[in-house]
Structure 1
Amino acid sequence: MRSSSRSRSWFAPSSAFAGFRFPPEVIVMAVRWYLRFNLSYRDVEELLAERGVKVDHVTVYRWVQRFTPLLADAARFARRSPGDRWFVDETYVKVNGVWRYVYRAIDQHGQVIDVLVSARRDGAAARRFFTRALATLKTVPVEVVTDAAAVYPAVLADLIPAAWHHVEQYANNPVEADHSRLKHRLRSMRGLRTDRTAQTIIAGHAFVQNLHRGHYELAADEHPRLRVTVAFAELTTAI
């Protein structure tokens, strides 16, 4: 007797690397180099050529844009919970010749909480930043340190009413100092072209910085100099 239900074929999920000419190890190595070190896409192209891999710098750019979010997403389950004291501040970068604001936050242990590229520095952008961070991390801080920007009190009172909002001269120095790491990385690039690519690269920089500082369970027992390399190798099998 034939069953009334039709059998369904099961297909294994395809790898994110399916259809790419180069092996995953080469692609991930190029992405890691670009995010970890002060290299341009052309620098990565040259380093790959020295290893016998002929690839155009535009392809490297496409790899970074394609795989950075995938690698970060695959690692999120291994991310350690952030601390309960957040330092929030905005810095700025040029995107296609136009200034853009970058909202960033770190905790008391130096973990980058989140980043957001925004065309405006206003209450809507601040609200978007905190909403993203709270939804992603499922963690609510007990203290938030900001500068004296007028938009923060109302946003924090609405989204994190129980948190102490700390505004005091020099209190926000940790995140302001951390901005310099991002600025140092961006200097070697040949410019950011769109808000989307800027968000991907700046978020990728934060991801690798957190990996290097040991804020993930990935490669936790490795020497700090090898931590990012080993973690990326593990993540390659996950996407």
Structure 2
Amino acid sequence: MTASPNPFRGFRFPAEVIQHTVWLYYCFSLSLRDVEVILAARGIVVSYETIREWGLRFGRLFANELKRRRPGPGDKRHMDEVFVRIRGKQHYLWRAVDQDGNMLDVLVQSRRSAKAAKRFFRKLLKGLEYIPRVIVTDKLKSCAAAKRDILPGVEHRQSRYLNNRAEVSHQPTRRRGQQTQRFKSVRHAQRFLSTHSRIHSHFQLRRHYLTAAAYRSVRGAAFRAWRDVTAVAHAV
């Protein structure tokens, strides 16, 4: 069997440094220059531009692998949209999570019309193995219209209060939007937010629902999965 190519080959820094840098950048509300200072404190001299390149190249690679390995989602979908500024213009970030808060998908669009809602519904269903039992949204009419056309047999609950889980999931994105000083293009926003949402949510372990021992166990499993995904053991 042919071995998979080493994604870290040809880089001056070892794989452990690169994957740790990507982890810092996407898991915490840190700017590129913040990460540069943290690495410098450890004796690792690397420019923020290099950190940006690592984030673009390896962040998406790691996020896609996390998506491939994710467990099956629950049967309830919470969907919501929030506006984001891209070059001074208002756009909308559509997001879906399951009842456990696991991030399913995101999509940046210029509108929140029925056409935009249908596009997000199709994107979401494309990556899932089965149709959900329940869809929960706010009272946006576009979502109701899209649901009637694409998922006519699925129960639809519309309430601004039932959809708190999806609305809360936007908070890390809002914080990152401030750190990145807004996005430069729709493509840049989609690429960054899809990567950030996947990696960040992998380490969001809902600690308030777990005992200390259970939290340490789940956290350890998350880090083991991360090390496996980043292929550090195979790159040394």
Query: Where on the TM-score scale, by shorter chain, does this alignment land: which range?
Result: 0.7 to 0.9
1:65-97 CA-partner distances (Å, limit 9, x unpaired): 111221122223321111111111100122233
SS in 2 for 1:170: coil
What is the deviation of 1:13?
A: 3.6
For the structure 1 residues 221 and 236, does the alpha-carbon distance in structure 2 shift closer, same or farther, using more than 3 Å as the test? farther
Counterpart of 1:112 in structure 2 is 103
The structure whose Rg is larger is: 1
Give the corresponding residue for 2:166.
175
| 1:236 and 2:234 correspond | no
Give the alignment's TM-score, normalised by structure 2. 0.85
Quickly say closer, same or farther: Cα 1:207–1:169, change in 2 above 3 A. closer
Query: Shift of the alpha carbon at 1:184?
Result: 2.5
Map 1:1-239 to 2 at 5 A.
12-213=3-204, 223-226=217-220, 228-237=222-231
Q: Which amino acid in structure 2 is aligned with residue 102 of structure 1?
A: L
SS at match of 1:138: coil
User: Which sections of structure 1, spanning at least 5 residues, go unmatched?
Assistant: 1-9
CA deviations over 1:92-138 (Å, ceiling 9, x no partner) = 12223322210011111111121111122222221221111111122
Count of residue correspondences: 226
| Corresponding residue number in structure 2 for 1:7 | none
Hey, which of these two has a bigger chunk of helix by percent?
Answer: 2
- Aligned-pair identity in percent equals 35
Contact kept, 8 Å, 1:87 with 1:105, in 2: the verdict is: yes
The amino acid that maps onto 2:10 is G
Q: Distance in 2 between matches of 1:75 and 1:222?
A: 20
Is the CA contact (8 Å cut-off) linking 1:116 and 1:199 kept in structure 2? yes
* Paired residues of 2:205 and 2:219 also in contact (CA < 8 A): no
The answer to whether the 8 A contact 1:95-1:193 is kept is yes
Question: What is the DSSP-based 3-state SS (H/G/I as helix, E as strand, rest coil) of the residue aligned with 1:151?
Answer: helix
Say whether the 8 Å CA contact 2:67–2:198 is kept in structure 1. Answer: no
Instruction: Give the Cα–Cα distance (whole angstroms) in 1 for the partners of residues 2 and 157 of structure 2.
Output: 53
Gaps of 5+ in 2: 207-213
Q: Distance in 1 between matches of 2:90 and 2:8?
A: 34
Return 93-102 or 178-187, whichever deviates more.
178-187
The normalised TM-score by structure 1 is: 0.84
SS state at 2:153 partner? coil
Mapped to 2, the partners of 1:59 and 1:162 lie a distance apart of: 49
Deviates more, 1:38-47 or 1:75-84: 75-84
Give the secondary structure class of the aligned counterpart of 1:137: coil
